[in-house]
Structure 1
Amino acid sequence: MKLLCGISLLLVVTVAYHIYIPLPRTISEPWKLMLLDAAFRCVTHVFNMAHHLGLTHRIHVLNYAINGVEMLVPVSCEGIQVQDTHFDGVQVRVYQPSQKEKNQLRRGVVFFHGGGWSIGAPKLGSYDLLCKKMASDLNAVVVTVDYRMAPEVHFPVQYEECLHATQHFLKPEVLAQYSVDPERVAVCGDSAGGNLAAAVSQQIGVDNDSSVKFKAQVLIYPVLQALDFNTPSYQQNQDVPILYRRLMARFWLEYLGANLDHVHPMLINNHTAKDHVRGSAHRAKLDWTTLLPQSIKKDYKPVVKETGSPEILEKLPALLDVRAAPLLAEEDRLRMAPRAYILTCEHDVLRDDGLMYGRRLEQAGVHVTSDHLQDGFHGCVSFAFWPCYFSVGIRAVQNYIAWLDENL
């Protein structure tokens, strides 16, 4: 009996040690997030092992695990018609409310899912339910783009597929086919999807061949630059789940098809040292010392190296490409973007990307609504539905849909 109790105690201590991580007191439902993170870390160990053994790419294992969880989310199609089709050769799924009044024009939303440009299941689980909710609550036609992902494809493929599908949908004859009002179309995306939404929104804004423009853009904790991995939010939240700073750097390199050996030099900002001429012209566009308020900057200091690794920018010119890093766009390009709703979370490495972009849009004359969740963490919008939901995720979804309802 004593042996059994001892073994049980040891197991409990071991499990607790694996699960427990120190989290900020203000984060939403910390114990639930610890459990979620523990499961994620277990999967991470598995996909790293499989990758090193040469069995499969680590991203494939992670996607397999995510798809398995997403399949547990109940499917609900009541009142919503779902159609899988292709727009300009790109796979998309179209959601439409079943009931429609004669001659009624609906709103339209183009949605890009997140997942570091390499993971995610837009047709399963939380993203599927999210698109159905938008279609129902907004009485809108929602198009989610099932773009191809890394490691099979790399930048600019993800961006180009999102752009081409969007351009197809915005054709007047296609909008008419789906009974969508051309004056009431928005683009929306979370995380890497927010990156794609911002980049596509910029291009549609300056594209003289597009007669239909977006009325609004919704960017949910978007990732917008890879030149500074030491903004205050990267420093503050580097070890906060579910998006760690090192993981974000890896996602960037997977997206660009680059060697993961660049992770460490990028994390210490070696790729943007003062002796690098290529990146110097862009420093002001992400100078958080001037773009962020003091309440966000706190006592954090910029990390700027005198000398570094110039070969990174030489090998990866996409780091300076506005299609990959929308925060680096010139003001005349930003000026053509539609009004924006930008959701940021306090406990997220990407918090400052969104805040800086909002500030730069405002400086360009674009109306911006900033929604900052003090108890939020990265990915919370994906956890607004059973079986793994957080109160902050439910609130975040309600907030941005309410904004779209008022502004679209």
Structure 2
Amino acid sequence: MKSAVVLLAGLFAFTAYYVYLPLPSTVSEPWRLMLLDASFRAAQQSCNLAHYLGLGHHLRILNFIIGTFDKLNLQYVEQEQVKITDTQFDGVEVRVYEPAKAEENLRRGVVYIHGGGWALSSTRGSFYNNLCSVMAKSLDAVVVSIEYRLVPDFHFPVQFNDVLHAARHFMQPEILAQYSVDPGRVAISGDSAGGNLAAAVCQEMSQDQNETGRFKLQALVYPVLQAFDFNTPSYQQNEFTPVLPRFVMVKFWIDYFNGNREFAHSLVVNNHTSLDVGQASSFRDRVDWTSLITPRLRKTYRPVTPTTGRVEILQAIPSLLNVRAAPLLAEKQVLRLQPKTYILTCEIDVLRDDGIMYAKRLEDAGVEITLDHIEDCFHGCMIFTIWPTHFSAGIRTRDRYIKWLHENL
């Protein structure tokens, strides 16, 4: 009996140690966030072990776990008053959400791209199914959610091309007419890696004079926009915070490009963009956070710019500086062409400064910009609105995002 008590106490202590993370005092529902983060870490570590044992690629296994959870969770998804159709746009799988209520006037349209590090989640999963259903109902809009192909089976630029082809297809006059969508009231949007794809595709389509349609708005939710500097103040400040620690984000980038994970530690210290790497010099001012973000957010953090680094990283993974993968690196004349933009950023997020820098560069280029920075929220919070990952922060960010779309689209 005594041994059982000691074992139970030890197990409890280990669980508490594993779950507990120091979080800023501003975080709402901190223990719920710790439990979410611990669950995700445990799943990732289990998948890494399975990968090491040769049981399958860790990302495929992790996506299977997420998919299994989604199947159990779909009963909680809001789908009332929304017609959901799975189809293909130019060979790309999409899920279309249409308000079931008949409407004589043309509706708004939203092209939505889900997040997940270009490797995880799905339009059909409970989190994004719920989000897009709520958007369609709240905005009385047709929402097209794009099921782009995922890492590790496909790598950049496949994801970019999937979104580009599907978006171009939807923006054709005859397709918009088929769904009763007003050509002048269509937005492109996405969160995290989906925000990356939305921004990149919006840039691409804005430059093509042969495009039949133009997006009225873009709305980016905690987007990942650059792989140039992994030591921005938000990367330094939130190095170990949930749900996206810095090292995990670096590995997502490497996997996106099908690169060698042995480069991960070098990327963390910016050895790929050191001063002796000539390819990086022309992009440096576009990611200069010392001028692009405010002193309040810079705090006492200092730039990490090594004098010497590893030139071979960019030789092996040149896409790290590809504008289609890293929209923050775009030239000013491209930024001038972008539509009115909403960017939501969270304080507790390594990607906070990506969004803030992009907002400042767009504003400097003359684009009308709304930067919605939320002090007590964390990366990914907007999709965590249904049981058992229900966060008040998720409801709040989702409502602010939808409110902006409602008022501007």
Q: Tell whether the structures are fold-level matches, with TM greater than 0.5.
A: yes
Q: 1:85 aligns with which of 84, 87, 92?
A: 87
User: Does 1:383 find its partner at 2:398?
Assistant: no
What TM-score results when the alignment is normalised by the length of structure 2?
Answer: 0.98
- Cα deviation code 1:236-288 (max 9, x no counterpart): 00100110100000000100011111101100000001011101000000000
Deviates more, 1:61-70 or 1:191-200: 61-70
SS in 1 for 2:167: helix
Describe how 1:317-336 pairs up with structure 2 within 5 A: 317-336=318-337
SS in 2 for 1:71: helix
Mapped to 2, the partners of 1:177 and 1:123 lie a distance apart of 23
Mapped to 1, the partners of 2:130 and 2:384 lie a distance apart of 11
Q: Give the C-alpha shift of residue 55 in structure 1.
A: 1.1
Counterpart in the other structure of 1:210: 211
Describe how 1:336-347 pairs up with structure 2 within 5 A: 336-347=337-348
Contact 2:237–2:350, Cα closer than 8 Å, also in 1:
yes
Counterpart in the other structure of 2:9: 9
Unaligned runs of 5+ residues in structure 2 are none
SS in 2 for 1:72: helix
Contact 1:346–1:375, Cα closer than 8 Å, also in 2:
yes
Deviates more, 1:398-407 or 1:70-79: 70-79
- Cα deviation code 1:156-197 (max 9, x no counterpart): 000000000000000001000000000000011000000000
Q: Give the C-alpha shift of residue 2 in structure 1.
A: 4.1
Counterpart in the other structure of 2:34: 34
Mapped to 2, the partners of 1:101 and 1:265 lie a distance apart of 55
Q: Give the C-alpha shift of residue 3 in structure 1.
A: 4.1
Counterpart in the other structure of 1:354: 355
Q: Give the C-alpha shift of residue 8 in structure 1.
A: 2.8
Counterpart in the other structure of 1:94: 96
SS in 1 for 2:72: coil
Mapped to 1, the partners of 2:17 and 2:161 lie a distance apart of 44
Contact 1:270–1:308, Cα closer than 8 Å, also in 2:
yes
Mapped to 1, the partners of 2:77 and 2:373 lie a distance apart of 30
SS in 1 for 2:241: coil
* One-letter amino acid of the counterpart of residue 388, structure 1: T
Q: Give the C-alpha shift of residue 17 in structure 1.
A: 1.5
Mapped to 1, the partners of 2:6 and 2:156 lie a distance apart of 53
Describe how 1:6-405 pairs up with structure 2 within 5 A: 6-73=6-73, 74-102=76-104, 104-405=105-406
Q: Give the C-alpha shift of residue 75 in structure 1.
A: 3.5
* One-letter amino acid of the counterpart of residue 210, structure 2: D
Mapped to 2, the partners of 1:11 and 1:376 lie a distance apart of 31
Mapped to 2, the partners of 1:43 and 1:292 lie a distance apart of 35
Mapped to 1, the partners of 2:209 and 2:143 lie a distance apart of 24
Mapped to 1, the partners of 2:317 and 2:38 lie a distance apart of 33
Contact 2:150–2:159, Cα closer than 8 Å, also in 1:
yes
What TM-score results when the alignment is normalised by the length of structure 1?
Answer: 0.98
Count of aligned pairs between the two proteins: 407
Mapped to 1, the partners of 2:113 and 2:206 lie a distance apart of 17
Deviates more, 1:175-184 or 1:205-214: 205-214
Residues 383, 75 of structure 1: alpha-carbon distance in 2 compared, 3 angstrom cutoff: closer
- Cα deviation code 1:73-115 (max 9, x no counterpart): 223421110110000000001000011223x100000000000
Q: Give the C-alpha shift of residue 44 in structure 1.
A: 1.4
Deviates more, 1:199-208 or 1:106-115: 199-208
- Cα deviation code 1:2-58 (max 9, x no counterpart): 444333322221221121121221122110111111111211121111111111000
Mapped to 1, the partners of 2:226 and 2:364 lie a distance apart of 18
Contact 1:345–1:373, Cα closer than 8 Å, also in 2:
yes
Contact 1:385–1:394, Cα closer than 8 Å, also in 2:
no
Mapped to 2, the partners of 1:85 and 1:239 lie a distance apart of 40
Residues 101, 302 of structure 1: alpha-carbon distance in 2 compared, 3 angstrom cutoff: same
Mapped to 2, the partners of 1:2 and 1:312 lie a distance apart of 56
SS in 2 for 1:81: strand
Mapped to 2, the partners of 1:245 and 1:77 lie a distance apart of 35
Q: Give the C-alpha shift of residue 382 in structure 1.
A: 1.6
Contact 1:229–1:245, Cα closer than 8 Å, also in 2:
yes
- Cα deviation code 1:342-374 (max 9, x no counterpart): 000001000000000000000110011011110
Contact 2:78–2:134, Cα closer than 8 Å, also in 1:
no
- Cα deviation code 1:186-232 (max 9, x no counterpart): 01100000000000111111111113100111100000000100000
Q: Give the C-alpha shift of residue 321 in structure 1.
A: 1.1
Deviates more, 1:72-81 or 1:338-347: 72-81
Contact 1:331–1:364, Cα closer than 8 Å, also in 2:
yes
SS in 2 for 1:282: helix
Q: Give the C-alpha shift of residue 124 in structure 1.
A: 1.4
Q: Give the C-alpha shift of residue 386 in structure 1.
A: 2.1
Mapped to 2, the partners of 1:101 and 1:283 lie a distance apart of 50
> Sequence identity, in percent?
53
Contact 1:72–1:387, Cα closer than 8 Å, also in 2:
no
